[in-house]
Amino acid sequence: MRILVLTETDACCGPMAAAFLRDYSTTIEVVSAGRKPLQSVDPLVVEVMKECLADLSAYRPRHVADVGAEAFDVVFECPEPPCAATVEAYRKLRDCVKNEAYLFFRSL
């Protein structure tokens, strides 16, 4: 199964959700993309994801048109709230994304 995690910028919640979904199953392929991707992942996202043993330091946001959205079996539209201002706020956001990704995965 191929899953597309779709967000606005692919610089925050999308890469987080994709990383968590990959952890839930080795039989799925997960790709993250955005409608208006930024140049890079927010550094605080990289920091809080390292706490979960997910290294996003080399990840570069992609545009949804560049990943061939029609080739995916399922699309997980992950809402992307405004960027958080502190590490603590990013941890809360990460935990919320983790929960949403898990609920999505369980619904498959």
Task: Write the pLDDT tens digit of every residue in 29-43.
Answer: 999 999 999 999 989
Which domains can be identified in the chain, with CATH numbers? 2-107 (3.40.50.2300)
Cβ neighbours of residue 25 under 8 Å, at least 6 residues apart? 105
Q: Hey, which bits of 1-108 come out as E strands?
A: 2-7, 29-34, 74-77
| pLDDT for position 100 | 94
Task: Write the pLDDT tens digit of every residue in 42-82.
Answer: 899 999 999 999 999 999 999 999 998 788 999 999 887 77
Closest CA to 104 of 76, 83, 85: 76
19, 54 Cβ separation under 8 angstroms: yes
| pLDDT for position 69 | 77
| pLDDT for position 82 | 72
